[in-house]
Amino acid sequence: MEMHAFGRLTAVEVARRRLMGAVRPIERTEEVPVDAAFGRVSARTVLSPFPIPTFARTTWDGYALRSEDTRTARRDRPVTLRIVGEVFAEQAYRRRLGPGETVAIATGGAIPRGADAVEIFEEVERDDGRIRLRRAVRPGERISTPGHDFARGARLVREGEELSATALGTLAACGIASVRVFARPVVAILPNGNELLPPGASPKEGRIFESNNATIAAVVTSAGGIARPEPPLPDDPDRIERALRRALRTADLVLATGGSSVGERDHLPRLLPKVGDLLFHGIAVRAGKPTLAARAGRRIVLGLPGHPTSCLVNMYWLVLPALRRLARRPGPGWTPGWAVLGSDAVAPTPGLATVVPLRFEGGRAYSTFRGSSVITSLSGATAFAMLPPGRRIVRAGSRLRVFHLDPPLGPGGPASPETRAGANR
Amino acid sequence: MEMHAFGRLTAVEVARRRLMGAVRPIERTEEVPVDAAFGRVSARTVLSPFPIPTFARTTWDGYALRSEDTRTARRDRPVTLRIVGEVFAEQAYRRRLGPGETVAIATGGAIPRGADAVEIFEEVERDDGRIRLRRAVRPGERISTPGHDFARGARLVREGEELSATALGTLAACGIASVRVFARPVVAILPNGNELLPPGASPKEGRIFESNNATIAAVVTSAGGIARPEPPLPDDPDRIERALRRALRTADLVLATGGSSVGERDHLPRLLPKVGDLLFHGIAVRAGKPTLAARAGRRIVLGLPGHPTSCLVNMYWLVLPALRRLARRPGPGWTPGWAVLGSDAVAPTPGLATVVPLRFEGGRAYSTFRGSSVITSLSGATAFAMLPPGRRIVRAGSRLRVFHLDPPLGPGGPASPETRAGANR
């Protein structure tokens, strides 16, 4: 069994910068109805095609009138107007309002020509086809004029904006039925390793169930991407190379797992330079050292460690920011903050930075790490710390720079309890 | 134009309690692959079908050996073992290890019978088919025994749990390929009103573009539901009733918009008692008074105001908690907290509670309200306050109970900037 040594390991920040520098934000776009575009990223700056409202309309149920007719109205000296018609919301009163005339009008109704104000039902006395007003109504009162909400050409949405409920309502209110958004990046996930069984198969000695597809797909979804997990491949360099090349033709990012270290059956370090330009191989970090990346044209292919915890930890600190840049989402996917450690955190390997997954309890942070092969090493973790190389132990009670994982963005994905609690101010 | 008065208005808390009490959490389930189940809600408590690992395996690359053979090894008195084979991850060494024998073994490889410990490559001197060890290896060292990670029958996921990346990785690692989750509730959205034009149509006097479909669909998606917006219907009670009945057969919740007040063309107050049992009509709240709800068997139908801001505000404080309960999501969709007002907030109508949409700037909260017909009244709002009835003004500088909207859960939906900042501790 032949083992090669890693060359010089790449520092955490260098690896991240190289990867981020190589990622090209997605250019593909698609047209989506506004009532199905929630959370998508607009690919255009959108201007209002019309002044909104497109016509003068009342903002209340009431009576449209000529304000000058009410000028002399006082509490003890009412003015009387004659009701000559009524306007439901969608109708227009066709005649021009004459002196002393009024039209009953429902909220949103078009103001008849001649009228310039509206008095609400509750403020008038009505009987026998007439109303009495006891106050002067100001010109323009309770009227929304054309373009009051949005001028024609007003900017409704910026390119790159994540479409909120309000933004989508604004587009619809301006008559826009669909919006051009950036496509969600497609991320191929290619597990490899003779030891891998697909979940659902019968257990075999020496074989383990492939689980990185599930965790990586979750992170990809949370970042707004489309995960395309593939069944595990054996340690066959030709098959892996063919799978890599096929994935690079159809996916925006390729994440291969396993076979990323320096053993003779770790094929990715020899294959990635064949399909692209190597960005790094081997990161000075624990867990997760056997990680490599290459740029292949506009695309990136990463080789991630097969150990479930190492793989997922690297997804969070290294790959998530790249995924978000690819998907044109702002920020790295986590937010820096400070925390007080509830128990000692250990950096076991000199020369390597250490990622410590953290859960919070009673306002303190505790490592959840149980070993890189056990996926539950990340159960309940909502943040992580990155201990610099050379530090061996950080004592309970120390204040520590931490990175809170942002609430997942995936369909119906839960916001983390910690971040929710963070909104409690 | 005939107008009826509202009957006795229902207090905000009473309306919310009645609605929440009437909502039945969804019972429908579906089977989803674990690599596509991120953020879904598990419909089952899932136990591990196997002990994991299913066999004793090494956690490092190294040499499997009999620890008793190394008992006398010291720095100056090495023990020599003979390499009799090698085990890649997926293979099993078929013979039983005899005294003085060792087998090279890759991380994850099955421990040969007879062996009970592993020493790592870096700690031994190897030459000519032999290794020399200079320390005693403890029994069990670097071995993960069957069931070490998960005993057979260990609880992997609880019923009702939102499936995180780690939970899904755990299921996969235990050999589980798919998971039964609660279906996403289907929410029909039925706008009605003669004045409504579908976005994309040409503007007409007296007509406005329907925009509640877009905002409601966004909130439904954010709560983990499936929005099914329909084109606007005219003010025709027969057509509206048919649409309501059809929607109640195929949707879990029906949200009708417009026609919810007390005008003669507001048909919902007459139709809802025909299709179900009225829970309330008219809430003592501004904006959003003309809101009603009925229970129809296991389903709920709500009539929401047509005014875009009134509609969306009611979606947030009233309907979102009901949607989340229906979708079996924890919490109301917002988190209580305190804020200091940056400018006065006004409750303009005696007897009505007032919902104040709030944005945050420089650590203070400002109302975004510009009028109930303008959807931009909610632009940038990430929280709201509920001023109790009778209070007329809350001064700038006052501390106020507020409700932070949780970050959207929709596909790729953005976490709100305020809540992100909240993670900054």
Instruction: Give whole-number Cα distances, A233 to A2, A243, A287, B20, B178, in Å.
Output: 21, 9, 24, 50, 20
Return mean pLDDT, chain A: 90
Query: What is the pLDDT confidence band of residue B416, given thresholds at 50, 70 and 90?
Result: very low
**The last residue of a domain, from among B116, B144, B172:** B144
Residue of A89, A229, A422 lying closest to B195 (CB–CB):
A89
Give per-residue pLDDT as tens, B259-295.
888 777 899 999 999 999 999 999 999 989 999 999 9
Contact B61, A373 (CB under 8 A): no
> Based on the domain organization, do B262 and B385 belong to the same domain?
no
Residue of A40, A199, A406 lying closest to B415 (CB–CB):
A406
Which of A55, A211, A341, A400 would best serve as a mutation to test chain B binding (most B beta carbons within 10 A)?
A211
Q: Find chain B residues with C-beta within 8 A of A208's C-beta.
A: 53-54, 57, 108, 173
pTM: 0.90
To the nearest whole Å, the CA of B34 is away from the closest chain A CA by: 6
Nearest to A174 by CA among A157, A198, A194, A190: A157
Query: Does residue A2 fall inside a structural domain?
Result: no
Contact B405, B416 (CB under 8 A): yes
pLDDT value at position B373?
A: 67
- B321 vs B423: which has the higher pLDDT: B321
pLDDT value at position A90?
A: 74
pLDDT value at position A207?
A: 92
Give per-residue pLDDT as tens, A137-156.
999 999 999 999 899 999 99
Continuous H helices in B209-307? 212-222, 237-250, 268-275
Q: Which range (A288-292, A380-384, B240-244, B266-270) has the least confidence? A: A380-384
Token reading at B48: 């591990």
> Based on the domain organization, do B39 and B163 belong to the same domain?
yes
To the nearest whole Å, the CA of A399 is away from the closest chain B CA by: 11
- A392 vs A134: which has the higher pLDDT: A134
* DSSP type of residue A84: E
- Whether pLDDT at A93 is above 90: no
**Beta-carbon neighbour count of residue B327 at 10 Å?**
25
**The last residue of a domain, from among A326, A355, A377:** A326
Cβ–Cβ gap A378/B166 under 8 Å: yes
Nearest to B106 by CA among B92, B116, B95: B92
- The answer to whether B229 contacts chain A (CB < 8 Å) is yes
Cβ–Cβ gap A166/B203 under 8 Å: no
Mean pLDDT of A308-329: 95
- Residue A35 C-alpha from the chain's centroid: 17
**Beta-carbon neighbour count of residue A89 at 10 Å?**
25
Query: Does residue B284 fall inside a structural domain?
Result: yes
State the amino acid at position A379 in one-letter form.
S
pLDDT value at position A33?
A: 98
> Based on the domain organization, do A77 and A117 belong to the same domain?
yes
Helix, strand, coil percentages, rounded to 5, for chain A = 20, 30, 45
Q: What percent of chain B has a predicted confidence (pLDDT) above 70?
A: 94
Residue of B107, B167, B422 lying closest to A422 (CB–CB):
B422
To the nearest whole Å, the CA of A330 is away from the closest chain B CA by: 9
SS3 B85: strand
- The answer to whether A59 contacts chain B (CB < 8 Å) is yes
pLDDT value at position B263?
A: 76
> Based on the domain organization, do A75 and A165 belong to the same domain?
no
pLDDT value at position B423?
A: 33
Q: Find chain A residues with C-beta within 8 A of B37's C-beta.
A: 214
- The answer to whether A147 contacts chain B (CB < 8 Å) is no
Q: Find chain B residues with C-beta within 8 A of A199's C-beta.
A: 34, 171-172, 174-177
Q: Find chain A residues with C-beta within 8 A of B376's C-beta.
A: 149, 166, 170
Query: Does residue A152 fall inside a structural domain?
Result: no
To the nearest whole Å, the CA of B355 is away from the closest chain A CA by: 16
To the nearest whole Å, the CA of A272 is away from the closest chain B CA by: 22
Nearest CA in chain B to A363: B425
Q: Domain of B394: which CATH number?
A: 2.40.340.10
- In B, residues 16-35, which contact A (CB 8 Å cutoff)? 34-35
Which of B58, B215, B262, B309 would best serve as a mutation to test chain A binding (most A beta carbons within 10 A)?
B215
**In this structure, is the dihedral angle defined by the CA atoms of residues B115, B119, B121 and B125, taken in order, positive or negative?**
negative
Give per-residue pLDDT as tens, B70-79.
999 999 999 9
Nearest CA in chain B to A147: B374
To the nearest whole Å, the CA of B197 is away from the closest chain A CA by: 8
Distance between CA A379 and CA A357 in Å, rounded?
A: 9
Query: Does residue B211 fall inside a structural domain?
Result: yes
Q: Which range (A266-280, A397-411, B214-228) has the least confidence? A: A397-411
Cβ–Cβ gap A308/B89 under 8 Å: no
To the nearest whole Å, the CA of B297 is away from the closest chain A CA by: 26
**In this structure, is the dihedral angle defined by the CA atoms of residues B259, B260, B266 and B268, taken in order, positive or negative?**
positive
Query: Does residue A153 fall inside a structural domain?
Result: no
**Beta-carbon neighbour count of residue A185 at 10 Å?**
23
pLDDT value at position A35?
A: 96
**In this structure, is the dihedral angle defined by the CA atoms of residues B75, B76, B77 and B80, taken in order, positive or negative?**
positive
Distance between CA A112 and CA A110 in Å, rounded?
A: 6
Give per-residue pLDDT as tens, A365-395.
999 887 766 777 788 888 999 999 987 789 9
Q: Find chain A residues with C-beta within 8 A of B330's C-beta.
A: 414
**In this structure, is the dihedral angle defined by the CA atoms of residues B92, B94, B96 and B100, taken in order, positive or negative?**
negative
Contact B305, B269 (CB under 8 A): no
Q: Find chain B residues with C-beta within 8 A of A375's C-beta.
A: 166, 169-170, 173
Mean pLDDT of A351-371: 90
The question of ipTM being above 0.95 is answered as: no
Contacts of B238 (CB under 8 A, 6+ apart): none
State the total domains in chain B. 4
Element at A394 (helix H, strand E): strand A393-394
Distance between CA A275 and CA A273 in Å, rounded?
A: 6
Cβ–Cβ gap B424/A422 under 8 Å: yes
> Based on the domain organization, do A276 and A293 belong to the same domain?
yes
Q: What angle do CA A271, A25, B40 make, to 5 degrees?
A: 85
Cβ–Cβ gap A39/B209 under 8 Å: no
Residue of B90, B327, B376 lying closest to A194 (CB–CB):
B90
pLDDT value at position B414?
A: 34
Query: What is the pLDDT confidence band of residue A108, given thresholds at 50, 70 and 90?
Result: confident
Distance between CA A52 and CA B116 in Å, rounded?
A: 78
pLDDT value at position A262?
A: 78
Query: What is the pLDDT confidence band of residue B413, given thresholds at 50, 70 and 90?
Result: very low
Distance between CA A197 and CA A232 in Å, rounded?
A: 7
Distance between CA A146 and CA A149 in Å, rounded?
A: 8
pLDDT value at position B417?
A: 31
To the nearest whole Å, the CA of A74 is away from the closest chain B CA by: 23
> Based on the domain organization, do A301 and A384 belong to the same domain?
no
Q: Domain of B164: which CATH number?
A: 3.90.105
Q: Domain of B268: which CATH number?
A: 3.40.980.10
pLDDT value at position B89?
A: 66
**The last residue of a domain, from among A326, A360, A376:** A326
> Half-sphere exposure of residue B368, counting CA atoms within 13 Å on the CB side?
20
Give per-residue pLDDT as tens, A205-258.
989 999 999 999 999 999 999 999 999 999 999 999 999 999 999 999 999 999
Continuous H helices in B306-409? 308-314, 320-326
Distance between CA B271 and CA A343 in Å, rounded?
A: 62
> Based on the domain organization, do A234 and A261 belong to the same domain?
yes
- Whether pLDDT at A3 is above 90: no
B94-98: long-range pairs with CB below 8 Å, 24+ = B97/B64, B97/B65, B97/B66
Contact A357, A381 (CB under 8 A): yes
- Whether pLDDT at B372 is above 80: no
- Whether pLDDT at A85 is above 90: yes
Residue of B1, B36, B171 lying closest to A104 (CB–CB):
B1
- Residue A153 C-alpha from the chain's centroid: 27
Residue of A210, A406, A414 lying closest to B172 (CB–CB):
A210
Contacts of B13 (CB under 8 A, 6+ apart): none
pLDDT value at position B73?
A: 96
pLDDT value at position B422?
A: 34
Distance between CA A213 and CA B112 in Å, rounded?
A: 29
Nearest to A1 by CA among B371, B105, B266, B284: B105
pLDDT value at position B98?
A: 96
Contact A256, A304 (CB under 8 A): yes
- Burial pattern B286-301, b for ≥16 Cβ within 10 A else e, equals bbbbbbbbbbbeebbb
Give per-residue pLDDT as tens, B209-237.
999 999 999 999 999 999 999 999 999 99
Q: Domain of A34: which CATH number?
A: 3.90.105.10
Distance between CA B8 and CA B18 in Å, rounded?
A: 15
Return mean pLDDT, chain B: 90
Contact A299, B152 (CB under 8 A): no
Contacts of B180 (CB under 8 A, 6+ apart): B29, B30, B31, B32, B42, B43, B44
pLDDT value at position A373?
A: 67
Q: Find chain A residues with C-beta within 8 A of B229's C-beta.
A: 35
Query: What is the pLDDT confidence band of residue A419, given thresholds at 50, 70 and 90?
Result: very low
- Residue A360 C-alpha from the chain's centroid: 24
> Based on the domain organization, do A196 and A314 belong to the same domain?
yes
Query: Does residue A397 fall inside a structural domain?
Result: yes
- Whether pLDDT at B351 is above 80: yes
- Whether pLDDT at B60 is above 50: yes
Which of A107, A148, A164 would best serve as a mutation to test chain B binding (most B beta carbons within 10 A)?
A164
Distance between CA B26 and CA B29 in Å, rounded?
A: 8
> Based on the domain organization, do B206 and B303 belong to the same domain?
yes
Query: What is the pLDDT confidence band of residue B4, given thresholds at 50, 70 and 90?
Result: low
> Based on the domain organization, do A254 and A355 belong to the same domain?
no
Query: Does residue A6 fall inside a structural domain?
Result: no
**Token match 């797909």: residue?**
A217
- The answer to whether B203 contacts chain A (CB < 8 Å) is yes
- The answer to whether A190 contacts chain B (CB < 8 Å) is no
pLDDT value at position A424?
A: 31
Query: What is the pLDDT confidence band of residue B408, given thresholds at 50, 70 and 90?
Result: low
Give per-residue pLDDT as tens, A159-176.
999 999 999 999 999 999
Contact A280, A12 (CB under 8 A): no
pLDDT value at position A42?
A: 97
Give the domain extent around A397: 334-422
Q: Domain of B120: which CATH number?
A: 2.170.190.11
Nearest to A306 by CA among A336, A263, A345, A271: A263
Which neighbouring-strand residues pair with A125?
A132
- The answer to whether A331 contacts chain B (CB < 8 Å) is yes
> Based on the domain organization, do B42 and B172 belong to the same domain?
yes
> Based on the domain organization, do B223 and B270 belong to the same domain?
yes
Nearest to B286 by CA among B204, B356, B342, B216: B356
Nearest CA in chain A to B53: A208
Give per-residue pLDDT as tens, A111-126.
999 999 999 998 999 9
Contact A54, A148 (CB under 8 A): no
Query: Does residue B7 fall inside a structural domain?
Result: no
Burial of A395 (0-12, 13-18, 19+ CB in 10 A): exposed
Contact B282, B267 (CB under 8 A): no
- What would you report as the CA-atom Rg of chain B, rounded to the nearest whole angstrom? 32
